[in-house]
Structure 1
Amino acid sequence: MEPEVQNQRHGSRRARAFNNYAVAASRPMIAAVGRGAQLSPRLLTLTRPGVNRGIVAMSPAPRGTRITTVRERASDGQVRGEWTHESPMLGGAIPDPLTGRKIIYYIHGSGYVVCSARTHRGLVARLARSAGMGAFSIDYRLGPEYQWPLGGDDAIRGYRWLLSRGFDGSQIIIAGDSAGGHLALDVLAANHRDGLPQPSGMVLFSPLYDPSFQLAVDLEAGGVRDPIIDARAARTFLRFYTGDADPADPRMRVQVTSDMALPPTLIQVGAREVMADDARAIDRNLREAGGTSTLQEWPDQGHVFQMFPYFTPEARKAVHEAARFITER
């Protein structure tokens, strides 16, 4: 099945204006990488708080969003994250598995080295509110302080923590963006390996398939120019987490197989982004393994455009599409 091309041939004027601004703003960093500037682990650690504050400012949570922070010991480590409460119309409480209602388990992205549940609070709150359910966002360990596969271990632990609280797989929709999409696949593979129930659906925004970033570098070399990320610079950041991990390791390029119980999946990707081939690879692999997958390519959109509803109106439309998919599960 061919990917869906959303609504129209071109994106909105506002989206194209935002893309032009983002390209201009990112040129100094891209030029520095091209000149061989050293992006050291220490520099990344020092600049991460400022980067995160900027993302929060550009993607604020809707008014009335309620959060409960989670810091709990699990059998094999700590679970850190936050609940985004259900909407006031639905009681505003932390979801109770005994109600039988669904929840979203969200895994944030941004190259395994920046961002957090807080930076993605706006996106998660909009998605959860539109779908009419609560959400749990995991905070996993980031590079350069921690390296592969510790972030994936945390994502797997978070899902199992939800199961230990009484949620069944049929009550969980797993969702993630960018690197979080890759970690969502890691969760599915771990569930299959250990005989645990899979979630009832999966939503991926601009998901990463190949953490070596070779797919993205090749796509950029072919002429694709993402307004949000540069493939060469992003590969440098990814290596702060992946280190010397073997690109062929099954937890690097996660394989889905026909013997897996694969949840119905929606994948949204910006048609202008260098990670579009990653999304296409995931969609193809899911369908070849016998799963159900819908790939939506949104014209004139860059990486995880759903984060920025105040800059591109397509962000709101895409989140509503994702929420509709979730409620249909």
Structure 2
Amino acid sequence: MDAVATRYPTIAGSDIDLRLLQLEAQEIAKSIGSQIAPLAKSISDFQARIENRFIKVALLRALKPAFDSASDPSEIARLLSDYRTATARGRYGIFTPVMQSPPDTQLLFDPASPVTEDYADANWPEGRSDEPILFYVPGGGFILPPSPKQVTLAFRLAEHCGCEAVIGKHRLAPEYPFPIPANDLVDQYATMLKSGTSANQIILAGDSAGATLIMAMLLELRKRGLPMPSSAILFSPWGDLAMRGWSYISKSMSGSSPFRMETAAFSAKLYLGDVLPTDPRASPVYADLRGFPPLAIHCSRHDMHFDDAVMLAEKAHDAGVSVRMNYWDSPRHHLERFGSKDAEKSFKLVAEFINARLKHID
């Protein structure tokens, strides 16, 4: 069932527009109008493009010492440790602005040792409530721990949707490469089930590389024969680590994305090692999605991962999976990170999706 797809359709601007129209005609995809006043949106979009260019430069400058030290593993390890510590302590605020950390965020991740803790053996307390559970996997390019503000976003989303928040924890590449991170998450999920939590209570969600791991989780759950969660939500999903979509080229060269193909390729290489990026467990656009729970995909039309979002929606529909793709005309990657009316609209759509699914199960 997990055979690699024989081809990846060529994606040029006109091609993706046509395929998007087809998804809209089938009521699978929908363009969500901005909730921000036109003048305010123009100003916000301009600011976003400036921020994106700044982040691109900052990321390349951060990676350059690693490239320069490629022959010195100890120096690379030191640099990566510094990046992880800074991220876990929230010192890279430009990546996750606006939100404040909940009081207990520091209990979820230890900045001094974000890699070594073995989450696979984590205990899950007995006697959980019957509330729906949002099992959220923050993005980090597979190599960085979540920042406090990313964790806060998960708590805010869960509260908005009437769910209990659980942060999906996994070990980090390159020390723990593919497929270890996804297996850690499946083990955490399985522990929840063993404690008496119903799979119907659980909603998976993740952003960017976290969304990639959510899809890998679902493939592994199907392989192990474990019950599927009630649904899954993918924010700006990184669906193709081979980065064949046209949006990777076009948005990497513009101010519409805070990332470049070089930085994405760097993370993908550390995560995959010698594994081909077209392995369906690594890149879900090549996977057979039959048997997956209902999916909600949220993405920006100008996101570097937009073509992946379209491809995932098509793959899910072709596999008989209920799927809805909502997209915005915004230059912000994972716009839910920002305190805006558009982010609130996205949260509202997620809540409606979750509630509709839970009612269907009941």
Which of the five TM-score ranges fits, normalised by the shorter chain?
A: 0.7 to 0.9
Residue in 1 that maps onto 2:73: none
Alpha carbons 2:256, 2:302 under 8 Å: kept = yes
Deviation of 1:69 after TM superposition, in Å, equals: 4.4
Aligned residues: 310
Q: What is the TM-score when the length of structure 2 is the normalising length?
A: 0.74
Q: Does 1:45 align with 2:54?
A: no
**In structure 1, what is the equivalent of residue 91 of structure 2?**
54
| 2:331 corresponding residue in structure 1 | 301
Matched, 1:112 2:138: no
Classify the secondary structure of the residue corresponding to 1:136: strand
Query: Which range moved further: 292-301 or 15-24?
Result: 15-24
Considering fraction of residues, name the structure with more helix. 2
Measured in 1, the distance between the counterparts of 2:32 and 2:212 equals 24
1:267 counterpart residue number? 297
Which of 138, 151, 172 is equivalent to 2:181?
151
In the alignment, the residues of structure 2 paired with residue 228 and residue 95 of structure 1 have an alpha-carbon distance, to the nearest angstrom, of 42
Residue ranges of structure 1 left out of the alignment (5+ in a row): 72-76, 84-93
Among 50, 54, 58, the alignment partner of 1:21 is 50
Whether the aligned pair in 2 keeps the contact of 1:191 and 1:197 (CA below 8 Å) is yes
What SS does the aligned partner of 2:67 have?
A: coil
User: Structure 2: 5+ residue runs without aligned partners?
Assistant: 1-22, 71-75, 111-117, 358-362
CA distance in 1, matches of 2:109, 2:193: 15
Tell me which of 181, 185, 201 is aligned to 2:215.
Answer: 185
The match for 2:309 is 279
Q: What's the TM-score, normalizing by structure 1?
A: 0.81
Whether 1:328 and 2:347 are equivalent positions in the alignment is: no
Partner of 1:90: none
Q: 1:316 aligns with which of 311, 321, 344?
A: 344
Question: What is the deviation of 1:220?
Answer: 2.8
Aligned-pair distance for 1:226? 3.2
Deviations 1:90-120 (A, max 9, x none): xxxx8954x5331111111121011327442
Shift of residue 33, structure 1, vs aligned partner: 9.2
1:176 CA drift (Å)? 0.7
Letter in 2 for 1:175: A
Give the percent of matched residue pairs that are identical in Structure 1 and Structure 2: 23
More strand as a share of residues: 1
Pick from 153, 166, 171: which aligns with 1:141?
A: 171
Matches of 2:126 and 2:234 in 1, distance apart? 22
Task: Mark the CA change 1:61 to 1:37 in structure 2 (over 3 Å): closer, same or farther.
Answer: closer
Alignment partner, residue 12 of structure 1: 41
In the other structure, the counterpart of 1:196 is 226
Alpha carbon RMSD of aligned pairs, Å?
A: 3.4
CA contact (8 A) 1:69 1:82 kept: no
Q: Quote the Cα distance in structure 1 between the aligned partners of 2:131 and 2:66.
A: 50
Query: 2:56·2:259 contact (CA, 8 Å) conserved in 1?
Result: no
Residue number among 132, 136, 160 corresponding to 2:190 in the alignment: 160
